[in-house]
A and B are shown apart, each in its own frame.
Chain A
């Protein structure tokens, strides 16, 4: 079955540490890729998205992600995290045009805890 995998369930970092969260997907063809963030008690908000073009995508709040097609990966990075980045992060994939392409499939999420 097609899937989205986030390898880290819970990441704990100190403030100013660098962050990289992994995301791999199993769809072939052209996909749309997203990272969403969910702060405690809130709904999901879009951090960044990749549709085509430059594989290095910059999003809000200093986050960026790199699409590596050969590795089916879309890892999220931030050079220096802040306590306010404490949240759960979800990778999502929209499959290629065709059957099932209406659907946005999510990974299971990675909880990030940033220690002041």
Chain B
């Protein structure tokens, strides 16, 4: 498996609180992604990064922000968690824009109550 670590693996939080999920990679891959997985929706891209301090929005970015201050770490922040953000969050990394696949972390199950 690719060297991707997500933390925490499980979290329960209250509505309105800020939450930060961390993705750490040891592969020195340039591209990193945050997806959320929900039944009936598959995986939807939240934000992605194409380098240190270079990030962009994905399909479902509202309510989320990201930061990448180092190649190996990509943080996803829910500024004020809502119940609609209850989901499983997956981090992925990719070597390059072209001929490369994405490798996924183990996922973080977030419950907002």
Contacts and interface: CB of A to CB of B under 8 A. Distances in A.
B42, B90, B97, B98: which has the most chain A beta carbons within 10 Å?
B42
B105 A43 contact: yes
B104 interface: yes
Interface stretch (B17-25, B43-51, B67-75): B43-51
Contacts of A34: 101-102
Contacts of A97: 97-98
Contacts of B101: 34, 46, 49
A106 B50 contact: no
Contact of B31 (A6, A44, A102, A106): A102
A67 interface: no
Given A45-B104, A104-B33, A109 B42 contact: yes
Contacts of B41: 108
B31 A90 contact: no
Interface string A1-15: 000001000000000
The range of chain B's interface size is 20 to 34
A18 interface: no
A101 interface: yes
B31, B41, B92, B102: which has the most chain A beta carbons within 10 Å?
B102
A80 interface: no
Contacts of A51: 99
A93 to B, nearest CB: 12
B56 interface: yes
A105 B97 contact: no
A4 to B, nearest CB: 8
B104 A44 contact: yes
B30 to A, nearest CB: 10
11 contacts: A42-B106, A43-B105, A43-B107, A44-B43, A90-B42, A97-B98, A102-B48, A102-B50, A102-B97, A103-B33, A103-B48
Given A43-B104, A109-B42, 6 more contacts: A32-B99, A34-B102, A97-B98, A102-B48, A107-B42, A108-B41
